[in-house]
Structure 1
Amino acid sequence: MWHQWIPFWRSGVSPHGDDVDLLFAGLIFVSLLVLGLLFFLLLLFCVRYRAGNPAERGDRIGKTWRLEIAWTAATLIGFLALFIWGATLFLDSYNAHRDDVSIFVVAKQWMWKVQHAGGQSEINALHIPVGRPVRLVMVSQDVIHSFFIPALRLKHDVVPGRYQDLEIKATTPGHYHLFCAEYCGTAHSGMTGEIVAMQAADFANWLTQQGPSSPLAQEGASLFRQLGCSGCHGAGSKIRAPPLEGVYGSPVPLADGSIVIADEKYIRDSILLPDSQIVAGYQADMPSFAGKVNEDQLLRLASYIKSIGSQP
């Protein structure tokens, strides 16, 4: 590979790692090309018009529009090509699929809290299987953070108040650095962790060795009843509220005529901001739970609603 000849260069361990490296090398090459041309012209004029050199220093100015248009068009085309290349790679790298393994990540000052669907939790660590896409559903509990894995060539901001999707996939087992790439407070430099990529069998054994735990969906079901949600959305409820069975992943028509897909973001907004997206045919009677549930509880409620989403 071309990057094997570059000193201190470490290849990425994700499917798009080589593409990101190649794009980076292309940007460096174009920048060096422009910089080299600039220094060449500076050196040329310094030598040609140095003191004592009998070069013509008259006021005559020669100008050709063909040359002006040519170098301007060439520069524009070159940088547009880099933009299209980078945009295509960005869309391909950050396109999460709904059928991937979902893992929840809550960022807070100054740690990463990870919740697996089976109830296993981690602090400043994330275990994933090798060769299988993993969809991270991330949210911040306080300020803006940035989830950065240099070895996978991926970085995504994690902001408070909304979910962020990021699909990661490691091709080689190993331990890889995890950083927060957005200044988030006095202990920002200590907000680090690691990504542990394991073979599928080793990952399954690791899940079973984490001790007995309740799946997030089961804990969400208990919380669903404690908060009184089943009183309106339950099967035997006398209050007319939208049914939740089969809603996850389905299109939901709203009162304003628009249609949204019921994903984690929609579920979160429906709990905290119920008046923002009213389902068509229903009244805005649901109270807001903002300030009553934290991010960890919201993840459990979303997992529970997702679990009954496969039961039409």
Structure 2
Amino acid sequence: MLAGLMPEQASELAPRVDAIFLGLTAISAFIVLLVVGLVVAFSIRFRRGSKANRDALPNLVSREFEIGWTAATLFVFVFIFWWAASAEIRAFVAPKDAIEVHVVAKQWMWKTQSANGVREINELHVPVGAPVRLILTSQDVIHAFYVPAFRLKRDALPGQQTEAWFKATKTGTFHLLCTEYCGTDHARMLGRIVVMEPEDYARWLSAQPEGDDLAHQGERLFTARGCAGCHAPGSAVHAPDLAGLWGRAVQLAGGRTVTADGAYIRDSILQPKRDVVAGYEPIMPSYAGLLSDGEIQELTAYIRALGSGSRSSRRLGEPPLSSRVPGGPEARSPALVPGAPVTDTPTPAGPATRP
């Protein structure tokens, strides 16, 4: 009976969210019935003109009763907090093998791009049973990425990146909505998530127009925007080497240490003077307004592809990335198809490093 009142469940997270919702509803209904029942019972028993002993109530509500009731309420509160928080924390931590999809919201559409370069507008095709990691940002105002069947909702914020992930459990087409009022045509900001069998998804993927993945696009942009002029090993400008930067601890002027992740790289591109690397002068110009969110994602993917501090990486003077990635620029990432062997094809996350 309750199933007909709830949206369809189509993700791994949906049953947990529904269980929490129904649990909270049941606890709330019990408390309401208890309070209403006591009010009605006391109103009848201790009504005006009643011969009931009115001194019995203070004796009934003893100190021990108050302590027990308060302790029980605290226990229920802590349990509900733990139960709900555990589901929310899971929703933020994507599996390491998740398909990475960048989502850019703008008035009034959703633009998605997978790590292998496939772009879509107001649509996202994914395979069933595979975790999908979403990296969201907005080009203008606050939007909210909401898929009712997945019980997934996450804000897309201008100038920031937020993340979410899901694993679809059934095939079909599911509504994608914006649930943050974002302007005149907010109600028309609609899309759809198409969940396919892995074999069908592989065929769909191979039928898409050939194109470079994010890392290869970022490599070209890195040169076109003049980044290599400062960050190349042979440059006369004293700027950090980006090879092996990803995931490494970076010592900043002032003594703080940060991890070189997507958020750090994005800030380095847009606000390079905020956190300056120790030993370097704050000479890098800001690219705020000069690079789109999509271009920042491409640059981040390229820097990530240069390697992390935990493994060997290509220096900027070596052969280009396209000559090192199996299949070249047009290669589709097998990691996007469940069951296919995983390669070292790079994936994106945020912007470039500061001087």
Q: Provide the alpha-carbon RMSD of the alignment.
A: 2.3
Deviates more, 1:94-103 or 1:167-176: 94-103
Change (3 A) 1:42 1:228: same
| 1:305 counterpart SS class | helix
Per the TM alignment, residue 205 of structure 1 is displaced from its structure 2 partner at its CA by 1.9
1:20 and 2:17 equivalent? yes
Aligned residue for 1:101? 99
Aligned-partner residue type, residue 270 of structure 2: L
Contact 1:11 1:18 in 2 (8 A): no
Aligned residue for 2:73? 75
Per the TM alignment, residue 30 of structure 1 is displaced from its structure 2 partner at its CA by 0.7
Cα deviation code 1:200-243 (max 9, x no counterpart): 22222222222132322222222211211110112331212111
1:211 and 2:209 equivalent? yes
Aligned residue for 1:32? 29
In 1, the alpha carbon distance for the partners of 2:196 and 2:208 equals: 15
Contact 2:217 2:298 in 1 (8 A): yes
Tell me the percent identity: 44
Per the TM alignment, residue 133 of structure 1 is displaced from its structure 2 partner at its CA by 1.4
Aligned residue for 1:165? 163
Change (3 A) 1:5 1:108: closer
In 2, the alpha carbon distance for the partners of 1:99 and 1:249 equals: 17
User: How do residues 86-235 of structure 1 correspond to structure 2 at under 5 angstroms?
Assistant: 86-235=84-233
In 1, the alpha carbon distance for the partners of 2:2 and 2:105 equals: 38
Cα deviation code 1:275-298 (max 9, x no counterpart): 122222222111111111121211
Q: Could you state the TM-score of these two structures normalised by the residue count of structure 1?
A: 0.90
Per the TM alignment, residue 105 of structure 1 is displaced from its structure 2 partner at its CA by 0.4
Runs (5+) with no aligned partner, structure 2: 314-355
Q: Could you state the TM-score of these two structures normalised by the residue count of structure 2?
A: 0.80
Deviates more, 1:10-19 or 1:171-180: 10-19
In 1, the alpha carbon distance for the partners of 2:58 and 2:262 equals: 65
In 2, the alpha carbon distance for the partners of 1:241 and 1:60 equals: 78
Change (3 A) 1:11 1:79: farther
Change (3 A) 1:280 1:36: same
Aligned residue for 1:269? 267
Runs (5+) with no aligned partner, structure 1: none
Deviates more, 1:269-278 or 1:197-206: 197-206
Aligned residue for 2:306? 308
Change (3 A) 1:199 1:59: closer
Deviates more, 1:266-275 or 1:51-60: 51-60
User: How do residues 241-280 of structure 1 correspond to structure 2 at under 5 angstroms?
Assistant: 241-280=239-278
Contact 1:128 1:196 in 2 (8 A): yes
Per the TM alignment, residue 146 of structure 1 is displaced from its structure 2 partner at its CA by 1.4
Cα deviation code 1:76-101 (max 9, x no counterpart): 11111100111112112211245432
Aligned-partner residue type, residue 131 of structure 1: G
Structure scoring higher RCO (CA < 8 A, sep ≥ 6) equals 2
Cα deviation code 1:240-299 (max 9, x no counterpart): 211112222232222233332222211111100111222222221111111111212111
Per the TM alignment, residue 47 of structure 1 is displaced from its structure 2 partner at its CA by 2.8
In 1, the alpha carbon distance for the partners of 2:97 and 2:272 equals: 27
In 2, the alpha carbon distance for the partners of 1:161 and 1:8 equals: 38
Contact 1:139 1:161 in 2 (8 A): yes
- Runs of 4+ aligned structure 1 residues displaced above 6 Å come to 57-60
In 1, the alpha carbon distance for the partners of 2:46 and 2:53 equals: 9
